[in-house]
Structure 1
Amino acid sequence: MDNLLTDRSFWVNYWERKTGLSVRIPANYLFHEQLSAIIKGQSVKTAIELGGFPGYYAVFLKKYFSLDVTLLDYFVHPPVTRGLLEANALKEEDIHIIETDLFSYVPEQQFDLVLSCGLIEHFKDTADIINRHIAFVKPGGTLFITLPNFRALNGWLQKSFDRENYDKHNIGCMDPRLLERICREAGLTVVQSRYFGHFSLWLEDEQQKPAGLRLFKKALWLVGKVFTKIFPFNSRQLSPYIILEARKP
């Protein structure tokens, strides 16, 4: 499909080379404050995580908020999801799993909360992928999307030292104003669309990178952490993420 910056074989290879996926999800998992505020403020009962294999956020929402949770992805490896559920004292039936192509699947139900974390940036047509999210949102429900900010220093690191990974991302979609405009044009009320996080750096498969690069990355990370500890702020230049929250009328 021309809209894709990745394909199924990319994700099969990506997940098959990962180890230690069955981890215990903590209560202070990334974006926990934002999700908690949505769930409590909007009386959320049902949620779906799109493109979320192995299902970390689905597990988080079930484990700490007891929501009726669904995970949808076009690659799901059952042993990994089972291991993740067991690591978090959950049963297989605690999470509904749909393995399908988001571009051919017609939603059979809508949800109070629709979220994806690190999905939309892998597609060329940002409006199209966001509107596919919106199709899952109930009237009155919430859309919550997060994505990396590769327009920040972290993006420079990726572009300079892992160009193959960098090129799997649509850098153009990493713009809060663009995301806000797409949602408004779709009839949603935008609650927030902004850069998030003071500073962070990462590299895919970091332990396989040359020692010199790992040391350089660590030095940058330490300098950035110290600086943003003294001067904490969200910005395009340093924030590692973008978050979008919008409501459907």
Structure 2
Amino acid sequence: MTNDNHLTTADSWDSIWTGRRTNRAVTIVKQRLRQTRSWRQLLTDLLDSTGKPGQIEVLELGCAPGSMLVELHQLRPAYRYSGIDYAPGGLEAAEKALAAAGVPASLHLGDIRTSTLPSADLVVSFGLVEHFTDPAEAIGYHRRFLRPGGMAAVTVPNYSHPVTARLMRRFCPETAAAHNLDIMSTEQMKAAFERAGFTDVRTGQAGGPLLPCSQVRPGTLGAMYSITSRAWNLGSNFVPQGWPWASVIWGTGVSPEPADA
């Protein structure tokens, strides 16, 4: 997707997704942590936010590398899932992840600004809209794929705390450049949903205080920060969730019914 409003490129995501490896031992440990339990509870709440009984259609925007679709399916296997992404390598990784997990989801390569897909009851994104200079515009893209009265659910990482923001700019400058911190508060999330035309907007936060530790600057200081941040993130499982900041900001909104409905 080539777009002045976008802070990343398909090539940059492909380099991340195709180079990522899964460590099964680390995955098992993470599943037992309070941060993970909090995250999975949030996902469950978002999946159930439509209030519709039975099977619903769920579409994930920016679905590479497929891990979120796998997790969503584990939580609500009766739902029907699909995903769209503009990074070919990332979508290939998603196809492999879904096949390995036995998840029957349909995947689409395309630009969320222009692609046409069947309408869904729930359109979700996880860590997508903060990669745009105008997150409200990105949230508005969710409406393109929703049935009238359908629900959009968005989460973004919370790097807006002064400590987090300063450390990220110092030790993870590439990560800092790819993220718009302006959307990382419940107030700004609510305002963005409303600007995008959604109604019945709800926002909140979840998780404990995490430090960014991706794309750490090379060198001795970077290595020290990487070790420290990972230790901090592990320790955040043992402090009150949300203190002194939350790791995730979320928002939901309803796509309005047509005026003549």
TM over 0.5, yes or no?
A: yes
Q: CA deviation at 1:45?
A: 0.8
C-alpha deviations, 1:198-222, integer Å up to 9, x for none?
Answer: 322341156x775422332245446
**Alignment partner of 1:192 is 2:198:** no
Task: Determine the structure 2 residue equivalent to 1:162.
Answer: 172
Task: Determine the structure 2 residue equivalent to 1:99.
Answer: 109
| Structure 1 letter corresponding to 2:108 | I
Contact 2:11–2:87 under 8 Å retained in 1 = no
Q: Secondary structure at the match of 2:122?
A: strand
Change (3 A) 1:136 1:172: same
Counterparts of 1:149 and 1:183 in 2: how far apart (Å)?
17
Change (3 A) 1:98 1:171: same
Match of 1:87 among 100, 121, 127: 100
Task: Determine the structure 2 residue equivalent to 1:240.
Answer: 247
Task: Determine the structure 2 residue equivalent to 1:20.
Answer: 22
Match of 2:66 among 32, 51, 55: 55
**Alignment partner of 1:171 is 2:181:** yes
C-alpha deviations, 1:86-142, integer Å up to 9, x for none?
Answer: 43233xxx211110122232x332110000000001111222111111121211211
162-171 or 25-34: which moved more? Answer: 25-34
**Alignment partner of 1:112 is 2:121:** yes
What value does the CA root-mean-square deviation take over the aligned residues?
Answer: 3.0
Contact 2:190–2:201 under 8 Å retained in 1 = no
C-alpha deviations, 1:128-175, integer Å up to 9, x for none?
Answer: 111111121211211100001111244333222111211111111223
Match of 1:212 among 212, 224, 227: 224
| Structure 1 letter corresponding to 2:9 | D
Q: Secondary structure at the match of 2:130?
A: helix
Q: CA deviation at 1:32?
A: 2.9
Q: CA deviation at 1:223?
A: 5.7
Contact 1:111–1:137 under 8 Å retained in 2 = yes
C-alpha deviations, 1:46-78, integer Å up to 9, x for none?
Answer: 010001112222223334332221110001436
Residue ranges of structure 1 left out of the alignment (5+ in a row): none
Contact 2:193–2:201 under 8 Å retained in 1 = no
Residue ranges of structure 2 left out of the alignment (5+ in a row): 257-261
Q: Secondary structure at the match of 2:175?
A: helix
Change (3 A) 1:36 1:186: closer
Q: CA deviation at 1:21?
A: 8.4
Change (3 A) 1:21 1:59: farther
Match of 2:213 among 203, 214, 220: 203
Contact 1:174–1:242 under 8 Å retained in 2 = yes
Change (3 A) 1:70 1:160: same
Contact 2:66–2:95 under 8 Å retained in 1 = no
| Structure 2 letter corresponding to 1:124 | T
Q: CA deviation at 1:35?
A: 2.8
Change (3 A) 1:85 1:219: closer
Change (3 A) 1:66 1:215: same
Q: CA deviation at 1:191?
A: 4.3
Counterparts of 1:154 and 1:55 in 2: how far apart (Å)?
27
Task: Determine the structure 2 residue equivalent to 1:65.
Answer: 77
User: Identity across aligned pairs (percent)?
Assistant: 24
